[in-house]
Every structure is written in structure tokens, then in C-alpha cells.
Amino acid sequence: MKRLAVIANLLVVVFLLVACGPTAEPVVVEKEVTKVVKETVKETVVVAGTPEVVEKEVTVVAVVTATPPPPAEGAKVILRVGTGDSGEGLNPHQQIIGNFEDENPDILVQLEAVAGRDYYTRLLTQIAAGDAPDIMQIGDDAVPMFVGKGAFLPLDGFITGNYPLDTSIYLPGVLEPGQWEGKQWLLPKDFTPLGVYYNKKIFDEYGIDYPQDGWTWDDLLETAQALTKDVDGDGKTDIWGIQLTANWTTGFEYWVAAAGSRLISEDGTKFAGFMDSPETIEAVQFFADLYNKYQVAPPPADFSLWAGGNSEFENGKAAMRIFGRWPQAGYKTNPNIDLAVVGVPVGKVRANILFWGGFGIFSDTRHPEESWRFLSYYTGEQGSQVWKDWGIPPVASVADEAGLTTDPIEGVWINELNYLAPRAYVFTPYWNETADPALRKALETVLIDPKANVAEVMQKAAQEAQAALDEKLSQ
């Protein structure tokens, strides 16, 4: 009995020492679970290769963080945050987390990063096991799928609740991608519209005026023709007018919107009459003509690579490139480029499209209020004070105070947010399985074959997409 008493007293002493000592770093306890998951996944992270649609039954062995036991009274709540970012991209996350923990000593936040194509697979497996991070990051066109699976809590009640969030703080158009079926499910992290990069070195060398805000498709063609050069007279193009996006379907949605068209009906049931409308056909024709008729764009290097896999602009061999903000940091330090940016040209209407990533709260979180406190901090003004050093922050006042709205480059991206057209995935959760492959094939056809009848190609694409959609809607 004396021995038991001694042991008991020692345990009490150890407990008191631990309780009075410094808080230990949270330990991630992991377990392996095997689940058969049948999903359609389209990654939106920037990786080498074209984003692919995968629909197959696979057995996934995923590492899932064990659900911790209920915390003792007065103990800190541990929140888990899932992200597909990696490398230096994790630095702003860690900085925001550190700031939040300093201001909220009752909460510890641990970041769970899975880079590349495994991220969505892991999330889906964790969700199926009821063991997902409390807060999860996903891309725009994955919102319908994840919301449809019940992965997230609606945020509307939190926004007006005990820790309210004024959603008017955000830049134009960056809140909407986190909405689905009339509810707010995610808040914005990062985003980019399209823009046209141009190399002032090449413009200056040939005495061509820089493109100006509000320029048109005709201006684009004229400028590209003036800058497409056979420098050595060997009959081969050495400098191209503009590097385009090949069979990248999402990027092509800009051309459709600027032509005054759309790819799907507002009720999400019809591709026929939209993918093959006169305006859409006109957009496809002009895009193809830039490659084949006018020959101002380098042929796609590889259709299996993202946006055709071309590298002419970064090598100083193309005067312009239409793309998102992703490669901008590298372009600024590239000795081949004296960089400037202008908004995309105006077609029948002025339009642009948005690429977006955001955060939401796991529907089975054990800490909904604490998760909301962190999420609103992460994506609100405090988080934007950190994001502004890494990209364009979503909060308008922070962007303005940092001088980004008047910056000759960053201000272009921000201004383009005023002309956003909704992308097709907004109207159907089946875009990736139905119209995306049909549109991709159509773009490849008209780029490969200069004699292809664009109207017939798009009519066939619309029929294929419609048949696939009808099948999905009938299930």
C-alpha cells in the first residue's frame, strides 16, 4: 500500500509540473485507414501538366490524423488546417497562424500540407472517415463537389453571429466563388483574373506602342502581327506576337465571355445552343485564327502540358502572353523580360474570368466556433496584412493601403476584377465530367487542323457535352 501511495504522489507531482510548465507543441497522432473511394477529382493546384479529370474506383491508403479526446477544462483547443500549398507557399500560413495564436491564447493551430495531386484524394478520404481538418482549402471548381458531399458548414450564420464578419471588406468578385446554391461556404484566400503580360524590350526594339487599358481584339491582332518577326530571314519565326493557352479550357472561357456568349444555360441543363452559339463559334474561330491564319502565336508545344507547355515568353521569344498572375514573380526577375501587364482585350463586351482558392469549415468539426474565429481572421483584414506581401490580398482596404491598387502591375489585376463573368462550373457540378473534355477535344481539333470547320466542331462538342450532362441529370 505504501508503494502505491508513493506512485500516486509521484503522478500528482508530475501532473503539477506539466500543468505549470510551458505549453508543449501539439503532437500530430496519425493512423492509417484504407478506404475505397470513387470520386471525380480535378486538381486546381498549379502543377506541371494539364489538369486531368479522373473518375475511377481506387483503394486509397491515406494518413488521417486521429481525432483527439475532448480537451480538459481550461485546455487549449487544437485546430487543424489543410492546405495544398507547399514550400515557400507555407510561410504566410505559418505567419498568420503565429499572429492568431498570439492574439487567441486559447487556440493552437496546426497546418497540414499535402502538395500536388494527392491533396484532394486525401481530403476526400478524411472526409469519408469523419476525420478531416477543421478548416480546408480548395479551389473554385471543386466547390460544387465538396459542398455536394456535405464537406463544409454553411458560413452565413457565423457571418452574422457572435463574431460577425463584414463581407463588404472584400475586393469585387472574390467572395462569390465560395458560394453555392445561395449559401456562403468558403472565404477567399488567393485569386487571379487573366491579364496580358508584355515584354517592353521587344516593343521598344521594334518601336511598337504599348497596349493600353480597354484595347480590343482587333488591337491585339494588329499588335501581335507587328511583333511577329523572322529576324534572320530564314523563313522561320524567331519572335512571336503572343503566346496563347492552347487547349486550356478554363482559360478559354475568357474568349467566350468577351464574345458575349456563355457555355451553359443559367439553369445548368443545356450546353446545346450555348457551346455552339454563333458567338461561341466566333470566339473559337478568332482564337484558332491567331494560331493558323495569322500565325502570330507559337504552336502548342505539348497538348498534355498545361496551356500547351510553351516557354517562348519567358525565353524572350514572344512579345506578349495571356495568362494568370502565377508566374509573375519569376517574370519580374527574368533577364529576358522587361515586364508590364495590361488587361485582356475587349471583344463584343469587356469580360474576364477568375481563378480562386478559399477556406471553409469541415462539417464534422468538433470546434465550429473556434474554427470560425480562425477562418475569419485568416481571410479577413488581419490575414490580408500578411497575404499582401505574397500576393494580392482579398481585403480591399489592405490592398489600397499597401499601394497595390495604384501599382502599374498589381493595379491591373485588381482593376480586372470589375469585369468578371461567371465560369461554367458555377452552373453545374458536372462540368468537369461533361463539357470540359468535349471542349478540350474541340480546341485541339481546330488548332491541329487549319481546315477544320469550326461551326461543325463546336456543334459536335455541344452534342457530346449535352449527352453526358443528360445522363448525369437522369441519375
CATH code of 266's domain:
3.40.190.10
Residue 244 reports pLDDT greater than 90: yes
The CA-atom distances, in angstroms, between 144 and each of 176, 215, 251, 306, 353 are 13, 35, 19, 23, 18
Cell 493600353 belongs to 212
Both 136 and 47 in a single domain? yes
For residue 34, report the phi and psi dihedrals to the nearest 5 degrees: -110, 125
Of all residues in the chain, what percent carry a pLDDT higher than 90? Answer: 82
pTM for the whole structure: 0.85
Read off the pLDDT of each residue in 291-300 and give the average, rounded to a whole number: 98
Residue 174 has what DSSP assignment? S
Of all residues in the chain, what percent carry a pLDDT higher than 70? Answer: 84
Both 89 and 203 in a single domain? no
Both 155 and 203 in a single domain? no
Instruction: Look over the chain and give the mean of its residue pLDDT values, rounded to a whole number.
Output: 88
Out of 6-15, 289-298, 332-341, 373-382, least confident range:
6-15
Handedness of CA 83, 84, 89, 90 (dihedral sign): positive
Both 271 and 394 in a single domain? no
The CA-atom distances, in angstroms, between 181 and each of 44, 144, 164, 427 are 21, 9, 22, 9
Instruction: Say how many domains are in the chain.
Output: 2
pLDDT confidence tier of residue 18, bands split at 50, 70 and 90: very low
Considering 397, 419, 441, which residue would you say is the last residue of a domain? Answer: 419
Handedness of CA 295, 296, 301, 307 (dihedral sign): negative
2 within some domain: no
Residue 237 reports pLDDT greater than 70: yes
CB 17 within 8 A of CB 24: no
CA 437: distance to chain centroid? 19
Q: pLDDT value at position 74?
A: 66
Read off the pLDDT of each residue in 344-366 and give the average, rounded to a whole number: 98
Residue 49 reports pLDDT greater than 60: no
Q: pLDDT value at position 44?
A: 43
Residue 300 reports pLDDT greater than 80: yes
Considering 390, 419, 448, which residue would you say is the last residue of a domain? Answer: 419
CB 248 within 8 A of CB 308: yes
Both 239 and 134 in a single domain? no
More confident residue, 55 or 446: 446
Q: pLDDT value at position 114?
A: 84
Q: pLDDT value at position 71?
A: 54
61 within some domain: yes
More confident residue, 38 or 382: 382
pLDDT confidence tier of residue 10, bands split at 50, 70 and 90: very low
Both 264 and 202 in a single domain? yes
More confident residue, 235 or 21: 235
| Structure confidence by residue, pLDDT tens digits, 206-233 | 999 999 999 999 999 999 999 999 999 9
Residue 60 reports pLDDT greater than 70: no
Read off the pLDDT of each residue in 224-243 and give the average, rounded to a whole number: 97
Alpha-carbon span 331 to 341, nearest angstrom:
11
Environment class of 265 (CB within 10 Å of its CB; exposed 0-12, middle 13-18, buried 19+): middle
Read off the pLDDT of each residue in 117-140 and give the average, rounded to a whole number: 92
22 within some domain: no
Q: pLDDT value at position 118?
A: 80
Read off the pLDDT of each residue in 90-98 and give the average, rounded to a whole number: 96
Q: List the one residue out of 277, 243, 203, 191 whose CA is nearest residue 461.
A: 277
| Structure confidence by residue, pLDDT tens digits, 307-335 | 999 999 999 999 999 999 999 999 999 99
> Would you tell me the crossing angle of helices 278-291 and 435-448 to the nearest 10 degrees?
40
| Structure confidence by residue, pLDDT tens digits, 129-186 | 999 999 999 999 999 999 999 999 999 999 999 999 999 999 999 999 999 999 999 9
Full domain range(s) for residue 297? 195-351+430-474
Both 318 and 457 in a single domain? yes
pLDDT confidence tier of residue 12, bands split at 50, 70 and 90: very low
DSSP for 214-269, please give it.
T-BHHHHHHHHHHH-B-TTSSSS-SBEEEE--TT-HHHHHHHHHHTT--SS-TTS-
SS3 330: helix
Both 233 and 266 in a single domain? yes
Both 77 and 207 in a single domain? no
